[in-house]
Each structure stands twice: as structure tokens, then as C-alpha cells.
Amino acid sequence: APTVAQALAVPRPSGKPPLGVLIRSVPLSEWSEDNPRRPACAIFIRDSERKSQASHDIVRKLFDLTPAETELALALVNGATLEEAADELDISKNTARSHLRAIFSKTGVTRQATLVRTLLNSVLSLG
């Protein structure tokens, strides 16, 4: 049977942006037939108000980044501009640009927006 997915926004009483919810069916073929308690669906919930809590270790391993490059990449993923990230990390803007060029090289991208999309679409968000 094909995988079925349903997405919805769950409003919050606080007035903050709604939670994003994705409910996806789990094909029975993906689970052992010996297990009568196999799940029928997987539910993913995303709070856009929360910054990524991605493990630095996961980012480093996925993209072979240095610790400094990892810090910068995660700051960008969390919405900082390059200048804001440099200030946040207490590094010069030139050092931040140098790290960004190295990150581009290691991830195979050439634009900051593409870098953020690449990181967010990786397994990073599961960490």
C-alpha cells in the first residue's frame, strides 16, 4: 500500500505560531510480520519557535566540519545572519566568512540560503 501523509497546523492558546504536525502511514511491509504490535503511523511534531537542538557531533560527522565551522553552521540554521553569528560566536566577520567558504566547500553549496536548506533537509533535524 502507498504511504499516506497528512499535515496540519495545531493552533496554540498562547497565540504563538501553530505547531506543525505530520502524520504518515507506515507500510506494513516495513515491519516484521512476527510483530503483531507494529505501528500503523508515525507522528512528527515541529515547533517553529524552538531553535534547532541538533547535536554538534551529528553536524560534524555529516559534513566533516571543524568545531568552529559547526558552531557557525548551526547559528545560520537558527536564523542568524553571518554578521550576527560572528558577533554571537565572538569572531571577526572575516573569520566568519572564511569559515563559511570552508562550509560551502564541504557541503557542495555556494549560497547561504542553500546551505541552510541543505542542513535542514538532512538528518540533522532528527538529532
DSSP for 87-100, please give it.
HHHT--HHHHHHHH
Domains, the chain: 5-46 (no CATH), 56-126 (1.10.10.10)
- Of 31, 32, 18, 23, nearest in space to 3 by CA: 23
Q: What is the tens place of the pLDDT at every residue in 3-58?
A: 677 889 999 999 898 988 888 887 766 666 676 666 678 888 888 777 666 678 88
Taking residues 100-125, report their average pLDDT.
91
> What pLDDT score does 110 carry?
96
Query: How does the average pLDDT of the chain come out, rounded?
Result: 86
Which pTM does this prediction carry? 0.64
Q: How far is CA 54 from CA 46, 92, 93, in A?
A: 13, 24, 24
> What pLDDT score does 78 carry?
86
Q: Which residues pair with 8 in a beta bridge?
A: 21
